[in-house]
Every structure is written in structure tokens, then in C-alpha cells.
């Protein structure tokens, strides 16, 4: 019996080999009858034909020829997911403009203006529990992290309902804008098991120093989409610091974490231009030096994600502060 199976297997192998090489009429028939994919595989012969694409245009041609099968599938499975922050604009008094391109200064570098205002919360801010209680006996590294309660900084609401830590930025530099990379390093410190500052604005190529003022080890773990992520252990009280570098602009602020103390988080916005701001404790922001023109700003918050994708802003010589109001449920979802 054993012998039998083995021989039938070998026989099958022989036949398979024969089918592949000689392609007898019988095997073709069998293949057609059983729907063996071999015929399917041989069909797109023009695409599989090797050695034809020696130049780039040729390859793209191949690509477009092959596309429909994959794409029809893709289209079929697409779900129309709603885009973030489409109807989130509440009570802005920004002059509406028809700008489709966020980079169309009327007269580049001729005159500049600024964009300023406040971001305001509508509703009662949620009561967020502290992240690390000083009286928690089981707190990790209690003698350092338990010096004081570590508050939840993920939604800071200040005077007159101003929301802190909201990023406002242009995704791309205005056309024709030349970046002058600042040489001044951005310093990220860690004190009492909290990243300070909680948010950082960084330009590509700008030096970043990560320091520690704590007597315990921390690790700095970045989660960029386009840059190379790092995860570095920082020595206790490392004041010399460890340099980080971001080479590419990110499309959104990225999270920076400490895995040892899992509550520690901060956010870096990395862009290849200086037109970005983050709101202060009172929710105020100001971006200066913008060439006069029409722009589309993005507004982002760590709890809400993108609040605005295309906030139309017209920069003229005179600056009219704006008020951006967002409902509290956008921050508690």
C-alpha cells in the first residue's frame, strides 16, 4: 500500500513534468476541464514576457496593461470612509477664498503678513484622570515619577476655554519659498517623568537634542511616518543630550513616547518650512512672515486628529485675529 502511494506520487510527478514540457493534448484537455490555473498563468504572456522592458516607459506600459484586474478588485472593496474634519468649522470669521492650492502667494516675498488667533473649546472639558498618582505605591520609579501627580496633558484647556497644544500649519511650503534651516537646536527635556515641552515645532535638518533631568532612565521612541524612527535609551540626568535628526517633512505631528514610563508622550511637528504654530495655554497662536496670499491651513490636535484639512486663510498686510471654535465631543471620541 505504501509502495503504491509512493509510486502513484512519482507517477504523478512524472506526468506533471511531462505535462509541463510536452503539453500533451490529454493534459491540456484535463487542464481545461478541471480549470487548472496553468492556462490562466500562461495567458498574460505579453506581460510576463521577460526582457522586453529595458526602458522605463516600457515598464509603465506593462503596468497599465495589468492594472485593471487588480484595480477593479480594489474599487469593489472600497468603503467610502468619511474624510476627517469636513464640517468641523464652527464660527470662524476667516475670509472665504477660492484658493484650491495652499501655495499661491500673489507676490512672493514682496510683502508678508501674519496669521493669528485663538482656538477655543465649546462645551465643558472632560475631567481627565491623572496619569501617574504620586500616592500610588506601585508607581514605577516612584522616587522620581512620584514627586508630583502627572496630569493628563492630552487636552489642556486654559483661560477663556482656550485649547493648548493645537498645531496649525501649512502642509507644504509656499511655492518658491526657500527654507533657511535654523541652526538653533530644539531641546526636548524629561522632568518628573514628563516630556517638556509637550509639543515641539521642528524644521527638517534642524538639530534636536534629547536631554533628561530625571534620575532614572528614559527611552525616547519616535513614531514618524516618513523619517527613520528611533528608540534610544537616555541615561539618568543626561544633560549633554542625544541628537535626533529629521530629514523629511511629516504630514502630521508625530508621537514621541517613553516605553519605560508608558504615560509619557509628546508630539513633534516636522516640516520643511517655518509656517507652523502651536497654541499656548490660552489657546493663542501666531504665524508670522507669511507671504501675502491665500492658504489652506491644517489644524491638528492629539486627541482629535485633524480638525481642519483645508482651513482657508487669506494673508494680507493687516492681521485680523481669528477664533476657531471646536465642540468638546471632537476631543472625546
Partner 1 sequence: MTGNEKTAGLLMCACMLMSSLTLTGCERSEPARWTPSELVTELPDPALQDELNKLVTENSGTASTPQLVTQPNPTFKQQLHLKHGQAVYRKRCVQCHGENGDGNGEAADHLYPRPRDYTRGIFKFTSTPYGARPRREDLIRVVHTGVTGTSMPRFNRLPEKDIKAVVDYVMVLSQRGELQFQLAMEADAAEELDPEYVPEFIEDVVNRWQQAGSSLTQPLTPQPELTAQRAALGREAFLSKGCSKCHGDDGRGHTKDNIGSDSWGYPTRAADLTSGMLRGGQQPIDVYRRIMNGINGTPMPGFKAAFASEPDTIWNLVAFVLQTSNRRRYQEEIPAGLMKPYDTLANTARAQKANAGSEGGAAPEG
Considering the complex, what minimum distance in angstroms separates the CB of residue 259 from partner 1?
A: 3
Q: Is 75 exposed, middle or buried (0-12, 13-18, 19+ CB in 10 A)?
A: exposed
232 contacts: CB under 8 Å, gap ≥ 6: 210, 219, 220, 221, 242
Cell reading at 262: 508608558
Do residues 303 and 97 lie in contact, with contact meaning Cβ atoms separated by under 8 Å? Answer: no
Alpha carbons within 13 A on the beta-carbon side of 135: 0
Cell reading at 222: 519616535
Considering the complex, what minimum distance in angstroms separates the CB of residue 209 from partner 1?
A: 12
Among 2, 3, 70, 87, binds partner 1 (CB under 8 A): 70
Q: Would you list the DSSP string of 81-129? A: PPPTTSS--BS--PPP----SS-EESSTTT-EEEEEEEEEEESPPP-PP
Binding status of residue 211 toward partner 1 by CB under 8 A: no
Considering the complex, what minimum distance in angstroms separates the CB of residue 263 from partner 1?
A: 10
Binding status of residue 5 toward partner 1 by CB under 8 A: no
Pick 29 or 327: Cβ nearer partner 1:
29
Pick 157 or 304: Cβ nearer partner 1:
304
Pick 92 or 217: Cβ nearer partner 1:
217
Residue span 19-48 as binding mask against partner 1, x where in contact by CB under 8 A, dash where not? x------xx--xx--x-xxx-xx--x--xx
Q: Is 150 exposed, middle or buried (0-12, 13-18, 19+ CB in 10 A)?
A: buried
Considering the complex, what minimum distance in angstroms separates the CB of residue 118 from partner 1?
A: 26
Among 6, 122, 191, 226, binds partner 1 (CB under 8 A): 226
Binding status of residue 209 toward partner 1 by CB under 8 A: no
Stretch that binds partner 1, among 105-113, 179-187, 222-230, 286-294 (CB under 8 A): 222-230
Q: Site size for partner 1, by CB under 8 A?
A: 77
Q: How far apart are CA 42 and CA 22, in angstroms?
A: 15
Pick 119 or 216: Cβ nearer partner 1:
216
Restricting to residues 282-321, name those near partner 1 by CB under 8 A. 309
Amino acid at each position: 500500500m505504501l509502495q503504491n502511494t509512493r509510486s502513484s506520487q512519482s507517477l504523478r510527478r512524472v506526468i506533471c513534468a511531462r505535462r509541463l514540457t510536452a503539453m500533451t493534448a490529454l493534459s491540456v484537455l484535463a487542464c481545461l476541464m478541471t480549470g487548472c490555473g496553468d492556462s490562466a498563468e500562461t495567458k498574460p504572456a505579453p506581460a510576463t514576457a521577460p526582457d522586453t522592458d529595458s526602458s522605463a516607459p516600457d515598464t509603465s506600459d506593462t503596468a497599465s496593461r495589468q492594472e485593471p484586474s487588480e484595480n477593479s478588485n480594489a474599487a469593489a472593496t472600497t468603503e467610502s470612509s468619511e474624510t476627517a474634519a469636513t464640517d468641523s468649522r464652527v464660527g470662524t470669521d476667516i475670509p472665504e477664498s477660492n484658493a484650491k492650492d495652499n501655495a499661491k502667494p500673489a507676490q512672493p516675498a514682496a510683502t508678508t503678513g501674519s496669521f493669528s488667533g485663538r482656538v477655543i473649546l465649546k462645551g465643558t472639558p472632560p475631567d481627565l484622570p491623572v496619569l501617574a498618582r504620586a500616592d500610588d505605591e506601585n508607581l514605577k520609579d516612584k522616587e522620581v515619577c512620584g514627586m508630583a501627580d502627572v496630569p493628563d496633558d492630552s487636552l489642556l484647556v486654559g483661560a477663556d476655554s482656550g485649547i493648548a497644544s493645537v498645531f496649525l500649519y501649512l502642509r507644504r511650503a509656499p511655492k518658491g519659498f526657500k527654507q533657511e534651516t535654523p541652526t538653533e537646536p530644539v531641546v526636548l527635556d524629561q522632568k518628573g517623568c514628563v516630556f517638556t515641552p509637550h509639543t515641539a515645532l521642528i524644521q527638517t535638518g534642524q538639530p534636536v537634542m534629547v536631554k533628561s533631568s530625571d534620575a532614572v532612565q528614559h527611552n525616547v521612541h519616535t513614531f514618524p511616518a516618513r523619517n527613520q524612527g528611533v528608540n534610544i535609551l537616555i541615561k539618568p540626568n543626561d544633560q549633554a543630550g542625544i541628537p535626533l535628526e529629521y530629514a523629511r517633512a511629516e504630514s502630521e505631528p508625530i508621537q514621541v513616547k517613553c516605553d519605560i514610563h508608558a504615560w509619557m508622550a509628546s508630539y513633534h511637528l516636522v516640516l520643511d518650512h517655518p509656517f507652523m504654530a502651536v497654541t499656548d495655554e490660552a489657546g493663542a497662536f501666531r504665524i508670522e512672515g507669511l507671504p501675502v496670499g491665500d492658504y489652506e491651513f491644517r489644524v491638528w490636535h492629539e486627541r482629535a486628529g485633524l480638525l481642519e484639512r483645508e482651513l482657508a486663510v487669506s494673508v494680507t498686510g493687516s492681521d485680523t485675529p481669528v477664533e476657531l471654535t471646536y465642540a468638546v465631543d471632537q476631543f472625546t471620541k
